[in-house]
A and B are shown apart, each in its own frame.
Chain A
């Protein structure tokens, strides 16, 4: 499907989805609570079949966090970006690691770097940071570590 066709078919799946312009990917904003069911539809709908989650990350906007999911269908050759806005003090979103297994590692990385809690994740522990780092979120904009951080 082309971006234009996706643009017309996506709102039929989720009425509250907001389409954002200005990027070469079609970008959809969803509520964090809608994400899990929406993700399942994106994966399983015969005309969409987004079977490849190629990038999963988070952006700290100081007022809130945004989860960013880059999806691709290797069958239909179309791509999509889904964003979900999260509360900064208590960021929570459902895991999608049972839909795309790659999310298992990527969500653990986001969990330790941004503190996003992925609900129902099978193994939400630190992956990269050493033990004893709990509580400190290095990728947040206000993170300071005068000993280990080098300012260039």
Chain B
């Protein structure tokens, strides 16, 4: 039923990767049991940056707790805020204005591109190539500039609030987004030339870190990790929120089940995000950007669950309310936590060199796992 966990025999080598290793993208500590070059077991140790966000949220009001969630998955800060705001809106039954919905989707998709860009650069760097990292940052920088103008921050944005968005778009927003789309389209072929078509990268990723569709579901993997194995899991398509059901875009599915398939999902997903932004950028409706809400929100007694598709997969927000101004209990079903739980399964039996390639394609963001 279970593979034996942590059994070592004579001659095995136990090595530690991390906590402060560039390829662990934060502070993840892996204890790896090796037999020669072959991995027998990988055991992740978490908790180096645990901040007990769920506990903290119990003493924060419904407006305040959204700020904390930007610090969870800081590469998808907007989408985290979005999921939380939706959960509060669901409890309060707030209708949000059309303009706010479009702004939210635009911000989400820009965030997704920025996150995938960073992943792409970091992934290439994990495999020993340094140049793609700078190319990725060049494009990501334009998104950060757009965010800075409207949201006032470049990383931990706090822009979405229950009822809509905090303030209106900056007057330059439309122009800068259009400039970004032009820039992106002129550069995207470089990605394929540098990495996708490179025979060294292909050999390091194809057939590495295989996970079957059944295991994807059993381990609770979502996002590009699931879609790389052909499992349809896009929350935007399956359980549409905001205006996603009115937009034209494809759910990206690959059937390779390996690291290369997950790589291709993210590359193609960026193009879908560009497609969504192009549909919306000239059609932002006029009107309010925030619904009128009370200064202190009180959720009725009950339980509320909403989900959103972050760059890493399905983020669920589960609020248990006792009717007060603060949540009684909050659980964040973070995508990274479930994706990481499949790591041992992905790399067991493989070579130590493949560990980094497989881990890179999981796109781990450690604060999202540790919370």
Task: Kindly provide the distance from the CB of B310 to the nearest chain A CB, expressed in whole angstroms.
Answer: 14
Instruction: Check A128 against B316 for contact (C-beta < 8 Å).
Output: no
Using CB atoms, name the residue of chain A closest to B57: A152
Interface pair B316/A70, CB less than 8 Å apart: yes
Q: Which of A59, A109, A152 contacts B329 (CB 8 A)?
A: A59
In the complex, whether A28 has a CB less than 8 A from a CB of chain B is: no
A102 at interface by CB-CB < 8 Å: yes
Question: Which size class do B's interface residues fall under?
Answer: 35 or more
Q: Are A139 and B55 in contact (CB under 8 A)?
A: yes
Contact call A57/B318, Cβ cutoff below 8 A: yes
B340 nearest CB neighbor, chain A only: A105
Which chain B residues lie closer than 8 Å to A77 at the CB level?
238
Shortest C-beta distance, B55 to chain A (Å), equals: 6
How far apart are A91's CB and chain B's nearest CB, in angstroms?
16
CB distance from B51 to the nearest CB of A (A): 10
Instruction: Give the Cβ gap from B44 to chain A, nearest Cβ, in Å.
Output: 8
- Per the bound structure, the CA–CA distance linking A103 and B56 in Å amounts to 24
- Report whether A128 and B50 are in contact in the complex, using a CB–CB cutoff of 8 Å: yes
8 A Cβ contacts from B1-48 to A: 1-2, 5-6, 46-47
State A25–B342 Cα separation when bound (angstroms).
27
B221 nearest CB neighbor, chain A only: A102
Chain B, 53-84, CB within 8 A of any chain A CB:
54-56, 59-60, 64
* Inter-chain contact B331/A102, CB cutoff 8 Å: no
- In the complex, which of the residues B219, B303, B305, B316 contacts A102, with contact meaning CB atoms closer than 8 Å? B219
* Inter-subunit contact A51/B218 (CB<8 Å): yes
In the complex, B215 has a CB within 8 A of chain A: yes
User: A77-105: which have CB < 8 Å to B?
Assistant: 77, 98, 100-102, 104-105
Cβ of A146 < 8 Å from any Cβ of B? no
CA distance A120 to B277 in the complex (A): 49
Q: Which residue of B lies closest to A140 (CB)?
A: B55
Could you tell me if B331 and A55 are in contact, using CB atoms closer than 8 angstroms? yes
Q: Contact partner of A55 among B217, B238, B333, CB < 8 A?
A: B333
A38 contacts the other chain (CB 8 A): no
Contact with B along A95-136 (1 / 0, CB 8 A): 000101110111001000000000000110001111000000
Q: Does B108 contact A (CB under 8 A)?
A: no
A138 to B371 Cα, complex, angstroms: 14
Smallest CB gap from A101: residue in B = B218
Across the interface, do A55 and B318 meet the contact criterion of CB distance under 8 Å?
A: yes
Across the interface, do A102 and B55 meet the contact criterion of CB distance under 8 Å? no
B314 on the A face (CB < 8 A): yes
Q: Are A127 and B329 in contact (CB under 8 A)?
A: no
Q: In the complex, what residues of A have CB within 8 A of residue B5's CB?
A: 122-123
Chain B residues with CB under 8 A of A70: 305, 316, 318, 333
Question: With an 8 A cutoff between CB atoms, is A53 at the interface?
Answer: yes
CB-defined contacts of B2 to chain A, threshold 8 Å: 98, 122
Q: Which chain A residue lies CB-closest to B220?
A: A102
Closest-by-CB residue of A relative to B232 is A74
Q: Which residue of A lies closest to B59 (CB)?
A: A152
Set A22, A54, A100, A101: member contacting B314, Cβ < 8 A = A54
Q: Which of A1-50 contact B (CB under 8 A)?
A: 22-25
Q: How far is the CB of A115 from chain B (nearest CB, A)?
A: 15
For chain B, residues 203 to 218, give those with C-beta under 8 angstroms from any C-beta of chain A: 215, 217-218
* A residues less than 8 Å from B220 (CB atoms): 52-54, 100-102
Pick from A23, A57, A138: contact of B52, CB under 8 Å: A138
Interface positions, chain B 288-311, Cβ under 8 Å from A, are 302-305
Q: Tell me, in angstroms, the Cα distance from A106 to B338 when the chains sit together.
A: 8
**Residues of chain B with a CB closer than 8 A to A22's CB:** 302
Residues of chain B within 8 A (CB-CB) of A25 are 305
A52: contacting residue among B56, B217, B337, B341, CB under 8 A: B217
B363: interface (CB < 8 Å): no
Is A101's CB under 8 angstroms from B232's CB?
A: no
Whether A128 pairs with B47 at a CB distance below 8 angstroms is yes
How far is A104 from B220 in the complex, measured between Cα atoms in Å?
A: 11
Q: Closest chain A residue to B218 by CB distance?
A: A101
In Å, the complex CA distance between A60 and B47 comes to 22
B50: min CB distance to chain A, Å: 5
- Contact A152-B60, Cβ < 8 Å, known A98-B1, A104-B341: yes
A121 (CB) vs chain B CBs: closest residue: B2
A-B contact sample (4 more), CB < 8 A, given A52-B220, A101-B219, A152-B60: A22-B302, A109-B337, A123-B5, A127-B46
6 residue pairs, one from A and one from B, having the closest CB atoms: A102-B220, A128-B47, A105-B341, A57-B331, A55-B333, A101-B218
